[in-house]
Amino acid sequence: MTRLSRPWFWPLGWGGAYLGSVLATRTWLPPAGTRAESLAALLVLGPLVWTAVLAVNDRHDLPSDRRNPRKATAPLVSGALTVADLTRWYAGSVLAALAVAAMAGPAFLTGTALVLLLGHLYSAPPVRLKARPGADVAVNALVVGVLGPLAGWSLHRPVGAYPLVLAVLGLLLAAALYLPTTVLDADADRFAGDATSAVRWRPVTCYRAGLLLWTSATALWLVCCHLGMLVERDSWWLQTATAPALILGYAAGTRRPTIARMAVIVVAFAVPAGDFLLACVTVPVSVLP
Residue 73 pLDDT > 50: yes
* Average pLDDT of the segment spanning 67-71: 87
| 285 phi and psi angles, rounded to 5 deg | -100, 115
* Average pLDDT of the segment spanning 250-261: 94
Residue 287 pLDDT > 50: no
Give burial (CB, 10 Å; 0-12/13-18/19+) of 248. Answer: exposed
Residue 251 pLDDT > 90: yes
- pLDDT tens digits for 187-229? 999 988 999 999 999 899 999 999 999 999 999 999 999 888 8
- Give 284 or 160, the one with higher predicted confidence: 160
How far is CA 227 from its chain centroid? 27
* Average pLDDT of the segment spanning 263-287: 85
Q: How far apart are CA 52 and CA 93, in angstroms?
A: 5
* Average pLDDT of the segment spanning 14-29: 94
Q: How far apart are CA 26 and CA 32, in angstroms?
A: 14
Nearest residue to 196 (alpha-carbon basis) of 127, 125, 130: 130
Q: Which residues contact 264 (CB under 8 A, 6 or more apart)?
A: 249, 253
Among the residue ranges 25-39, 116-130, 225-239, the one predicted with the least confidence is 225-239
* Average pLDDT of the segment spanning 108-131: 97
Q: How far apart are CA 136 and CA 197, in angstroms?
A: 7
Residue 131 pLDDT > 90: yes
Give burial (CB, 10 Å; 0-12/13-18/19+) of 199. Answer: buried
**Which helix (H) or strand (E) segment is 44 a member of?**
none
What are the helix and strand counts (H, E) for the chain?
Answer: 16, 0
The Cβ of residue 117 has, within 10 Å, a number of other Cβ atoms equal to 11
> For position 235, what pLDDT does the model report?
86
Is residue 1 very low, low, confident or very high in pLDDT (cuts 50, 70, 90)?
low
* Average pLDDT of the segment spanning 114-130: 97
Q: How far apart are the first and last CA of the chain?
A: 43
Identity of residue 223 = V
Residue extents of the structural domains in the chain: 2-282
Output the CA torsion sign for 122, 126, 131, 133: negative
> For position 233, what pLDDT does the model report?
86
- pLDDT tens digits for 145-159? 999 999 999 999 999
> For position 289, what pLDDT does the model report?
44
Task: Fill in the DSSP letter of residue 73.
Answer: T
Q: What is the pTM (predicted TM-score) of this model?
A: 0.93
Q: Is 134 left (phi over 0), alpha (psi -120 to 50) or beta?
A: left
Task: Fill in the DSSP letter of residue 147.
Answer: I
> For position 72, what pLDDT does the model report?
86
**Which helix (H) or strand (E) segment is 186 a member of?**
helix 186-192
Is there a contact between 62 and 77 (Cβ–Cβ < 8 Å)?
A: yes
> For position 222, what pLDDT does the model report?
93
Q: How many alpha carbons fall within 13 Å on the CB side of residue 176? A: 27
